[in-house]
C-alpha cells in the first residue's frame, strides 16, 4: 500500500528525517514509536504530503507519487489522517463535519453523504450526537468524530498521529477501542502512539525512531519481548 525509499527531510539546517525506508502492506497496522522530536509526525505528514520531502520516493499502491504526476488532493483522499487535536470545524455540527469533505471535495449528493455519515456515527458509537456541536463533546467523542470524518472519504490507509495524547486518561480506552475495531476490519493503518499496550496488542509491526532515523523495525511480539537494538531496549525500559 505504501512504500518509502530513502526519504530525507530537513527544516533549515535541522535534518529531521534521515534515509527513511518503510513498506506497509494491505491490512497491516504499523505503530511508529520513539521519543518526542524523533521525527514521527514529520514522517506521517510526509506520507500524506502535508510536508514536502527533500528527496526520496513515495509509492502508494505501487505507483510513485509526485506533485508532477499526481494531484496531491486526490492522493490525500486515499490516505486519511487523524491528529492529536481533532481539528474539527467548531461552527459545524458533528454530521456537518463528517459530510463536509465528501460533499465539497468528492461532490457526493448531500442525502447520500448524510446516510453514509449516520452509518459511520453508528460505527464509532455516536449516532445520538449527529446534531450537536463539537464543543458539547468530550475529547474522546471528538476524536471518534474525527475518525468518522476521515473514514467518510473512504480512504485505503489511515494515519493516526498520537490520537489519544491530548485525552484525559479515562477517555483513551474508547478511542483505542474504535481504532482496534478498524484494524480488525482490515484497515491499513500507520499509528504514532505512546500507548504501548495498544501497540503490542494491535500492531503487526513496530517501527522505532530516534533522531530522525529508523533504529529498529520488528514484529510487535519480537519488539516487546526481544528487541534487537540497545537503544530500543533503553526506550522500552524508560516507557514501560
Ligand atoms: P515527533 O513527532 O517524533 O515528536 P516531529 O516530527 O514533530 O517529531 O519533529 C521532529 C523535529 O523536527 C523536531 O526537532 C521538531 O522541532 C522539528 N520540526 C517539526 N516541524 C517543524 C517545522 N515546521 N519547522 C521547523 N522544525 C520543525
Ligand atoms: Mg509528533
pTM to 2 decimal places: 0.96
The Å distance, Cα 101 to ligand 1 centre, comes to 28
Residue 14 has pLDDT above 90, yes or no: yes
* Ligand 1 atom nearest to CA at 35: 3
Residue 28 C-alpha to ligand 2 middle, in angstroms? 21
Backbone angles phi, psi at 40, to 5 degrees: -60, -50
Span 145-197, pLDDT tens digits = 999 999 999 999 999 999 999 999 999 999 999 999 999 999 999 999 999 99
Q: Which listed ligand is nearest to 15 at the C-alpha?
A: 1
The 10s digit of each residue's pLDDT in 194-225 is 999 999 999 999 999 999 999 999 999 999 99
Q: Which of 9, 10, 11 to mutate to test the pocket of ligand 1 (most atoms within 8 A of CB)?
A: 11
Write out the residues surrounding ion ligand 2, Cβ under 5 A. 40-41
- DSSP of 13-82: TEEEEEEEEEEE-TT-EEEEEE-TTSSHHHHHHHHTTSS--SEEEEEETTEE--TTTS-HHHHHHHEEEE
Task: Give the Å distance between the CA of 107 and the centre of ligand 1.
Answer: 35
Amino acid at each position: 500500500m505504501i512504500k518509502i525509499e530513502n526519504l530525507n527531510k530537513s527544516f533549515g539546517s535541522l535534518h529531521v528525517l534521515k534515509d527513511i525506508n518503510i513498506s506497509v502492506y494491505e491490512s497491516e497496522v504499523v505503530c511508529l514509536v520513539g521519543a518526542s522530536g524523533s521525527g514521527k509526525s514529520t514522517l506521517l505528514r510526509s506520507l500524506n504530503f502535508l510536508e514536502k520531502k527533500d528527496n526520496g520516493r513515495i509509492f502508494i499502491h505501487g505507483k510513485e507519487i509526485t506533485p508532477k504526476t499526481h494531484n496531491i488532493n486526490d492522493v490525500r483522499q486515499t490516505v486519511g489522517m487523524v491528529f492529536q487535536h481533532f481539528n474539527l470545524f467548531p461552527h459545524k455540527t458533528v454530521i456537518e463535519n463528517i459530510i463536509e469533505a465528501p460533499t465539497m471535495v468528492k461532490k457526493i449528493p448531500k442525502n447520500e453523504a448524510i446516510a453514509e455519515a449516520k452509518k459511520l456515527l453508528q460505527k464509532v458509537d455516536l449516532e445520538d450526537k449527529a446534531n450537536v456541536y463539537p464543543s458539547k463533546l468530550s475529547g474522546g467523542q471528538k476524536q471518534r468524530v474525527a475518525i468518522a470524518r476521515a473514514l467518510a472519504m473512504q480512504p485505503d490507509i489511515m494515519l493516526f498521529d498520537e490520537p489519544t495524547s491530548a485525552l484525559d486518561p479515562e477517555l483513551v480506552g474508547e478511542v483505542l477501542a474504535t481504532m482496534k475495531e478498524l484494524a480488525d476490519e482490515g484497515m491499513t493503518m500507520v499509528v504514532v502512539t505512546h500507548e504501548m499496550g495498544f501497540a503490542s496488542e494491535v500492531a503487526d509491526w513496530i517501527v522505532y525512531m530516534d533522531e530522525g532515523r529508523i533504529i529498529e523495525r520488528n514484529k510487535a511480539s519480537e519488539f516487546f519481548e526481544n528487541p534487537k537494538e540497545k537503544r530500543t531496549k533503553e526506550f522500552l525500559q524508560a516507557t514501560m
